């Protein structure tokens, strides 16, 4: 049997503070990862674990990260926010990732340095940027950062999610909960519709006369047949979906009376959840990693930016062809990215990357389905190779098992990212 490796020894003894740093001469290269969401945390973990001679620094302002995925279960009162919140101690202690809780304020791609809010400058050989999404506040009149305190987006998990939950709990009996659903592409394509479903499951018990109104920018949405089948079985008459051709798009909001003006009509809500159109996170825009689409074009095999060499972009901020903006995709991209960086910096062998997406989607607490998609590089982009989705004919037991599998998936997936 092998003896303990250094990392295992440190992990077993909990003696992270005593963990010797590799001598300068042993460090082959420095990689800085900006953003401690799923994409950034996964890159940092897999790079540190697979290439010990690469010094990996993860820059993330928050001490703990709350996952957006599964936060609809919190809104329905089915999970605690705490159960969706994860720290970075394991990345530091078990894998030797240097975690810095600070904000990156600027990137200099020429001198290859990152400057933090504290004034610290971090040099890098490769940089990974995983900034997630930013909201296009200018696209809905009256909706800005201040307005999110009255009409939350709750599309980045944490205080916004709590605010929306509090509003739903105190909503008047028989009131209207309005959700606006943005144009493609946006984070989590089934998310707005799963949110409507799970809030309906909450209302069914606590506010049975309430209505849910989805004001969509689009004329159709992902897994529409599955959702509409679920709505008619579980919540007949409670959820109304208005497509873009009916609404003409969401034009303006008024926080004073919680009204939402579309091209054709004004709707007054008791609780309003505005999910604005999106683009890549601020740092990506500021550094010129995003193009006119608002997203960051990347190489389909390495996730290196097509606009700035030696900078990689993973997760929601990337424009990775047909890959949707999901946590699962961010995780898959991050692994491909980590192994390609290790290969480039240390000469390590690299297996051909396999890219997948899997989503479990809840229409009620005991009714969940899944989809699985494989992707393959095609020219300078990434295309769908195969897609399999649950169908409306599945029986209740299959869906009940799906819901339990989803819970197991959450545990395994967050362990893969943060554990």
| Residues binding other proteins (CB under 8 A) | 1-5, 7-9, 11-14, 45-46, 49-52, 94-95, 328, 331-332, 335, 339, 342, 348-351, 354, 356, 358, 370-374, 376, 385-390, 404-405, 407-409, 411-413, 415-416
Which residue number, 51 or 100, has a Cβ lying nearer to other proteins?
A: 51
DSSP-based three-state secondary structure for 361: strand
Smallest distance, Å, CB 104 to other proteins?
26
Indicate the residue among 13 and 293 with the shorter CB distance to other proteins: 13
280 versus 327: smaller Cβ distance to other proteins: 327
Output 138 or 411, the one with its CB closest to other proteins.
Answer: 411
In the complex, minimum distance from the CB of residue 93 to other proteins, in angstroms, rounded to a whole number: 10
Q: C-beta of 20: minimal distance to other proteins in Å?
A: 16
Which DSSP symbol is given to 22? P
* CB contact at 8 A, 157 and 73: no
Identity of the residue, 71 or 390, whose beta carbon is nearer to other proteins in the bound complex: 390
SS (H, E, C) the chain: CCCCCHHHHHHHHCCHHHCCCCCHHHCCEEEEEECCCHHHHHHHHHHHHHCCCEEEEEECCCCEEECCCCHHHHHCCCCCCHHHEEECHHHHHHHCCEEECCCEEEEECCCCEEEECCCCEEECCEEEECCCEEECHHHCECCCCHHHHCCCCCCCCCHHHHHHHHHHHCCCCCCEEEEEECCCCCECCCHHHHHHHHHHHHHHHHCCCCEEEEEECCCCCCCHHHHHHHHHHHCCCCEEEECHHHHCCEEEEECCCCEEEECCCEEECCEEEECCCEEECHHHHHCCCCCCCCCEEECCCCCEECCCCCEEECHHHEECCCCCECHHHHHHHHHHHHHHHHHHHHCCCCCCCCEEEEEEEEEECCEEEEEEEEEEEECCEEEEEEEEECCCCCCHHHHHHHHHHHHHHHHHHHHHHHC
Identity of the residue, 96 or 230, whose beta carbon is nearer to other proteins in the bound complex: 96
Nearer to other proteins, 90 or 207 (CB): 90
Nearest residue (CB) to other proteins, 83 versus 113: 83
Which pair of tokens denotes residue 317? 């901020």
Cβ within 8 Å of residue 139, ≥6 positions away: 276, 277
| Nearer Cβ to other proteins (263/392) | 392
């Amino acid at each position: 049997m092998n003896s303990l490796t250094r990392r295992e020894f440190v992990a077993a003894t909990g003696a992270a503070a005593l963990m010797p740093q590799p001598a300068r001469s042993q460090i082959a290269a420095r990689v800085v990862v900006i953003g401690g969401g799923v994409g950034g945390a996964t890159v940092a973990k897999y790079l540190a674990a697979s290439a010990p001679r690469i010094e990996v620094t993860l820059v993330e302002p928050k001490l703990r990260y709350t996952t957006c995925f599964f936060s609809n279960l919190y809104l329905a009162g089915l999970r605690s926010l705490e159960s969706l919140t994860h720290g970075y101690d394991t990345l530091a202690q078990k894998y030797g990732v240097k975690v810095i809780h600070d904000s990156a304020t600027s990137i200099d791609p020429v001198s290859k340095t990152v400057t933090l809010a504290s004034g610290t400058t971090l040099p890098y050989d490769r940089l990974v940027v995983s900034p997630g999404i930013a909201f296009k506040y200018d696209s809905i009149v009256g909706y800005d950062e201040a307005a999110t305190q009255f009409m939350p987006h709750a599309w980045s998990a944490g205080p916004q999610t709590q605010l929306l939950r509090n509003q739903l709990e105190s909503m008047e009996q028989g009131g209207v909960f309005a959700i606006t659903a943005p144009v493609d592409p946006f984070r989590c394509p089934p998310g707005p519709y799963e949110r409507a479903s799970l809030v309906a499951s909450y209302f069914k018990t606590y506010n049975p006369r309430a209505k849910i109104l989805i004001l969509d920018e689009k004329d159709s949405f992902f897994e529409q047949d599955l959702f509409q089948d679920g709505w008619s079985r579980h919540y007949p008459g409670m959820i109304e979906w208005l497509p873009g051709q009916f609404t003409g798009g969401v034009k303006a909001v008024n926080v004073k009376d919680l009204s939402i003006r579309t091209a054709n009509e004004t709707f007054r809500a008791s609780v309003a959840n505005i999910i604005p159109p999106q683009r890549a996170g601020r740092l990506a825009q500021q550094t010129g990693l995003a193009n006119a689409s608002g997203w960051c074009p990347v190489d389909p095999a390495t996730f290196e930016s097509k606009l700035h060499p030696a900078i990689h972009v993973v997760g929601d901020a990337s424009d990775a062809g047909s890959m949707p903006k999901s946590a699962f995709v961010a995780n898959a991209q991050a692994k491909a990215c980590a192994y390609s960086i290790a290969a480039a910096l240390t000469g390590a062998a690299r297996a051909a990357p396999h890219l997948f997406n899997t989503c479990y989607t809840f229409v009620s607490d005991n009714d969940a389905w899944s989809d699985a998609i494989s992707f393959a590089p095609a020219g300078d982009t990434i295309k769908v190779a195969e897609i399999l989705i649950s169908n409306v004919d599945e029986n209740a037991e299959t869906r009940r098992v799906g819901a339990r599998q989803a819970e197991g998936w959450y545990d395994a997936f967050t362990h893969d990212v943060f554990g």
